[in-house]
């Protein structure tokens, strides 16, 4: 056995010399199989880190790093001890099993039924029924402009009162006493138009935490935690005027999260963010919602449909004031009998449509430069792309939206 392992180590050294990144990945797997402890693995990770930081042209590797990696491969062989490996694996497994018993409490934070809000002047009417927000879950609310999304969020956050229906907060208010002073201390609401604040971020965060009863050393700890967790450490001394729109939003988030709310309602948080910042914010929200210790329910309204869908557990769709609960994002449109693709290409729509004649029963339509193609289920995205290639149709953009909430925007055409 040891001879086999030695041969593998020698082969790995050759691969590392020729294809450092691939070789290091293989060495990492090798260490996980035959290394007696985690230190060996960590040494390789640091070598990978070093290679990524130095990032030499052509992906080459320095002599020093090569010697180090060869040494690690040799050391794994020298120290190989099946008994120790077995103990390491068992310890890891026991640790994993122990922690797996910890679970996110999936309690209902908010429930609402038969909500109706009417505006006499504009004759706009909002209706929402059968909605629930749970701890550890992100809910995405999408819909066209001016369909009542912000109004619904304000109702759920207790900012405005509906004419009919009731919003309950079983976790904060089990007896349904509706003490709004108390309830509002439990719900974090970030409106689309952020309110200007005075002073520095640091002062504001400390104040916000204190306002929610976090004082003394705990206040300092809470403030420092949220600054570090949201990556705002370089901006704590800045004032409102010194911040970009993106950072104003991130600061608003910090203010909302510093006191560990269990319900966070965000109205169009992605509106002022560039793509990179959107990803950071959504990824942070996802990880914070799913925290084992301080999990929370998050409701986000957004026009950024795909981005919101990518982190949401459930989706709501609002059309002309009526809310439709679409349920779990994983199950959405599972029972459909069609596929729907959106794409753009260099051909005018009429020519593109003609090129698809061989596909049989399909339906196409265009929304400016974006074309939509509805196909039977038998034509998958891969099939369709292959077909386009065979017809030499150059696709500039393509997305399979069969299971996206975007289908709701076109359901009259589908």
Partner 1 sequence: MFFEIILCVLNLFYLICSEVNKYCCLTKYLFSNLIEANDILSRKSEIKGYVATAKLDLAVKRCIDFYQDFGIDDDDDAVLLSMRFHEIIKNEKMGMWTEDVVITRKTQIAMSILTMIKDFSNLQPTA
Reading the block at residue 25, the tokens are 């990945």
Closer Cβ to partner 1, 6 or 118, answer by number: 6
Which residue's CB is nearer to partner 1, number 124 or number 225? 225
Candidates 21-29, 139-147, 346-354, 371-379: pick the segment binding partner 1 (CB under 8 A): 21-29
Contact call for residue 7 and partner 1 (CB under 8 A): yes
Contacts of 199 (CB under 8 A, 6+ apart): 239
Which long-range CB contacts under 8 A does 223-231 form with residues at least 24 apart? Answer: 223/258, 226/254, 226/257, 226/258, 227/201, 227/202, 227/254, 229/284, 229/288, 230/254, 230/257, 230/284, 231/280
What is the C-alpha to C-alpha distance for residues 38 and 49, in angstroms, rounded to an integer?
A: 16
In the complex, minimum distance from the CB of residue 336 to partner 1, in angstroms, rounded to a whole number = 24
Q: Are 127 and 323 in contact (CB under 8 A)?
A: yes
Cα–Cα distance list, 374 to 102, 380, 397 (Å): 44, 11, 16
Rounded to a whole number of angstroms, the minimum distance from the CB of residue 58 to partner 1 is: 18
- Per rule CB under 8 A, is residue 237 in the interface with partner 1? no
**Residue 293: CB minimum distance to partner 1, A:** 5
* SS3 (DSSP) at 405: coil
**Would you count residue 106 as binding partner 1 (CB under 8 A)?**
no
Q: Does 344 bind partner 1 (CB under 8 A)?
A: no
Smallest separation (angstroms) from partner 1 to the CB of 120: 45
Would you count residue 234 as binding partner 1 (CB under 8 A)? yes
Counting Cβ atoms within 10 Å, is residue 237 exposed (0-12), middle (13-18) or buried (19+)? exposed
Tell which one of 42, 62, 244, 354 touches partner 1 (CB under 8 A).
42
Residue 330 in the binding site for partner 1 (CB under 8 A): no
Q: At what angle do helices 20-34 and 63-78 cross, to 10 degrees?
A: 20
DSSP 379: S
Residue from 78, 81, 86, 92 binding partner 1 (CB under 8 A): 92
Q: Does 74 bind partner 1 (CB under 8 A)?
A: no
- Print the binding letters for residues 287-306 with partner 1: x by CB under 8 A, - otherwise: xx-xxxxxx-----------
CB of 20: closest distance to partner 1 in angstroms?
13
Beta bridge partners of 297: 263
Q: Which parts of this chain interact with partner 1 (CB under 8 A)?
A: 4, 7-8, 10-12, 14-15, 26, 28-30, 32-33, 38-39, 41-42, 45-46, 48-50, 52-53, 89, 91-92, 94-96, 98-104, 136, 221, 224-225, 228-229, 231, 233-234, 283-284, 286-288, 290-295, 310-311
């Amino acid at each position: 056995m040891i001879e086999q392992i030695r041969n593998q180590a020698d082969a790995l050294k050759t691969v590392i010399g020729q294809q450092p990144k691939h070789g290091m990945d293989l060495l990492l797997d090798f260490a996980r199989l035959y290394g007696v402890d985690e230190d060996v693995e960590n040494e390789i990770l640091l070598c990978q880190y070093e290679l990524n930081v130095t990032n030499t042209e052509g992906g080459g590797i320095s002599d020093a790093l090569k010697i180090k990696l060869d040494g690690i491969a040799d050391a794994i062989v020298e120290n190989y001890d099946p008994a120790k490996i077995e103990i390491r694996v068992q310890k890891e497994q026991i640790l994993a099993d122990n922690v797996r018993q910890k679970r996110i409490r999936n309690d209902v934070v908010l429930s609402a039924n038969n909500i109706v809000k009417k505006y006499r002047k504009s004759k706009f009417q909002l209706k929402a029924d059968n909605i629930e927000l749970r701890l550890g879950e992100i809910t995405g609310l999408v819909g066209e402009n001016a369909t009542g999304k912000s109004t619904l969020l304000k109702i759920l956050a207790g900012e405005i009162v509906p004419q009919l229906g009731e919003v309950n907060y079983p976790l904060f208010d089990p007896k349904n006493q509706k003490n709004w002073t108390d309830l509002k201390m439990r719900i974090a609401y970030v409106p689309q138009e952020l309110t200007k604040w005075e002073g520095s971020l640091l002062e504001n965060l400390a104040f916000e935490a204190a306002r929610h009863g976090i004082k003394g050393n705990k206040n300092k700890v809470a403030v420092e935690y949220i600054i570090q967790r949201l990556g705002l450490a370089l901006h704590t001394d800045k004032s409102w005027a010194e911040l970009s729109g993106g950072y104003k939003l991130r600061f608003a988030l910090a203010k909302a999260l510093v006191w560990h709310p269990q319900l966070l309602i965000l109205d169009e948080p992605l509106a002022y963010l560039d793509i990179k910042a959107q990803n950071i914010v959504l990824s942070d929200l996802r990880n914070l919602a799913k925290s084992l210790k301080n999990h929370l329910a998050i409701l986000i309204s957004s026009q950024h449909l795909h981005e919101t869908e990518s982190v949401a557990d459930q989706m709501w769709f609002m059309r002309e004031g009526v809310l439709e609960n679409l349920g779990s994002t994983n199950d959405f449109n599972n029972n459909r009998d069609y596929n729907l693709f959106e794409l753009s290409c260099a051909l005018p729509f009429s020519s593109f449509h003609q090129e698809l004649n061989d596909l049989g029963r399909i339906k196409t339509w265009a929304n400016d430069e974006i074309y939509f193609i509805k196909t039977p289920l038998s034509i998958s995205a891969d099939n369709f792309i292959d077909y386009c290639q065979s017809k030499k149709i150059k696709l500039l953009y393509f997305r399979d939206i069969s299971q996206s909430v975007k289908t709701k925007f076109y359901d009259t055409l589908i």
